[in-house]
């Protein structure tokens, strides 16, 4: 899992744009959707030179950029839409927390998208940034992914109300799709926690505890990512009373309130799952302690049985010349019989007391 480091990471200068993420092998590609309630146009392999002819300010425009390695493309987008350099820096700097920046004609939002990694206990992380300005929504993804495939299909097929809404509603749909990834990730973590609980009941392997601690780190990481998302969504919801902010229409704010409620549900679910994980950890230690107690009880019983036998063997191991039992013809067999009888009596007594 690639962790987000807020203090130790190398800081990128605001005036020097530099991509700090790990998905550096992906080439930059742009896609443009232009639509309204009557029709839509889709452009693949969209270029910077096509901005003036492709973008229609009378309709909703969605520019989706995959890959952040080609800085000149980011700079060209910033120059065309007159985006401040510090926002471009936040798009490229993947160590940033989830945040929202609002201006009278611009809304910027970046978020961490998370999905479980196959055949691993790790979590895959990707930063996605959104910017709305002048009726145009621009989304910046570190790599090509299929998070928004169903939204593209809804635009193409005129499914639902997306084509009748503006870019602010489209942003809601995109954020909702990313938040669904949190549910998928949490559900995957829950399945693995249940598996660990079953394993902790049948195995004393220390690797189980290592995996428990790994998933505890995963839940803490998810929580640290959702808390700033919750705060950002609350900040958007609070903009409803700001008369100077025109990027989001009044009737659309209710959709962002739903996202805020989802973030609260995610945090509650994580808290519940961390409690379950704590129970799994406690059960593992309790199971280990119980097994150790069983071993110690067995060893104690064996030791208790051999204490009187050792005493008898010690008495007859003394080298006194005048020991009367030494002259008995069947003395050896008598002593051995007494020792066996003592052992049987003690076993019977321990069994009757249910000590084993």
Cα separation, 167 vs 128, in Å, equals: 16
Q: Which residues contact 45 (CB under 8 A, 6 or more apart)?
A: 29, 30, 31
pLDDT of residue 169: 94
pLDDT of residue 108: 93
pLDDT of residue 211: 85
- 71 neighbors 81 (Cβ within 8 angstroms): no
- 156 neighbors 44 (Cβ within 8 angstroms): no
Cα separation, 81 vs 140, in Å, equals: 14
Query: Of 186, 202, 67, which Cα lies nearest the Cα of 115?
Result: 186
- Residue 229 to residues 65, 106, 112, 180, 190: CA-CA distances in angstroms? 22, 19, 9, 13, 21
- 186 neighbors 273 (Cβ within 8 angstroms): yes
Cα separation, 229 vs 265, in Å, equals: 12
Q: What is the pLDDT along the chain (356 residues), one digit of tens a residue?
A: 444 444 444 555 555 788 887 777 778 889 999 999 999 899 988 888 888 888 888 899 999 998 888 888 899 998 898 888 888 988 998 888 898 988 878 899 999 999 988 878 889 889 999 999 888 999 999 888 778 999 999 999 999 899 999 999 999 999 999 999 999 999 999 888 888 888 877 777 778 888 888 888 999 999 999 999 999 999 888 887 777 777 888 888 999 999 999 999 999 999 988 888 887 777 777 777 777 888 888 888 888 888 888 888 888 888 777 777 777 888 888 888 888 999 898 888 888 887 77
Identify the burial level of 158 via C-beta atoms within 10 angstroms of its C-beta, where 0-12 means exposed, 13-18 middle and 19 or more buried.
middle
Query: For residue 173, how far is the Cα from the chain centroid?
Result: 22
101 phi/psi in degrees, rounded to 5? -125, 125
Indicate the DSSP class of residue 50.
G
The partner residues of 124 in beta bridges, in order of sequence, read 115
Q: In a 3-state reduction of DSSP, which class is residue 159?
A: coil
Query: Of 54, 59, 85, 56, which Cα lies nearest the Cα of 71?
Result: 85
Overall pTM surpassing 0.75 (yes/no): yes
- 123 neighbors 116 (Cβ within 8 angstroms): yes
Indicate the DSSP class of residue 325.
G
């Amino acid at each position: 899992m690639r962790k987000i480091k807020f203090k130790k990471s190398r800081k990128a200068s605001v005036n020097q744009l530099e991509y700090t993420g790990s998905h550096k092998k992906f080439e930059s590609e742009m896609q443009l959707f232009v639509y309204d309630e009557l029709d839509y146009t889709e452009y693949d392999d969209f270029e910077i030179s096509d901005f003036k002819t492709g973008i229609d300010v009378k309709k909703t425009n969605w520019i989706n950029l995959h890959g952040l390695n080609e800085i000149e493309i980011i700079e060209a987008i910033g120059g065309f839409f007159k985006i401040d350099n510090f926002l471009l820096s936040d798009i490229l700097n993947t160590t940033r927390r989830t945040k929202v920046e609002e201006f009278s004609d611009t809304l910027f939002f970046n978020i961490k998208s998370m999905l479980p990694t196959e055949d691993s206990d790790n979590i895959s992380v990707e930063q996605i940034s959104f910017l709305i300005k002048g009726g145009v929504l621009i989304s910046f993804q570190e790599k090509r992914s299929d998070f928004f495939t169903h939204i593209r299909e809804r635009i193409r097929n005129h499914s639902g109300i997306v084509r009748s809404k503006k870019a602010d509603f489209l942003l809601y749909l995109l954020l909702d799709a990313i938040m669904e990834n949190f549910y998928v990730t949490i559900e995957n973590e829950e399945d693995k926690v249940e598996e660990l609980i079953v394993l902790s009941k049948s195995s004393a392997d220390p690797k189980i505890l290592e995996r428990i601690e790994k998933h505890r780190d995963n839940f803490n990481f998810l929580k640290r990512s959702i808390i700033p998302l919750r705060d950002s969504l609350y900040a958007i919801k609070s903009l409803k009373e700001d008369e100077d902010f025109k990027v989001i229409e009044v009737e659309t704010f209710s959709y962002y309130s739903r996202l805020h409620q989802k973030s609260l549900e995610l945090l509650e679910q994580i808290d519940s799952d961390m409690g379950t994980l704590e129970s799994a950890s406690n059960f593992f230690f309790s199971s280990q302690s119980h097994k150790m107690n069983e071993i110690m009880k067995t060893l104690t019983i064996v030791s208790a049985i051999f204490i009187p036998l050792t005493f008898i063997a010690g008495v007859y191991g003394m080298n006194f010349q005048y020991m009367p039992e030494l002259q008995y013809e069947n003395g050896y067999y008598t002593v051995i019989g007494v020792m066996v009888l003592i052992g049987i009596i003690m076993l019977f007594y321990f069994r009757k007391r249910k000590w084993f």
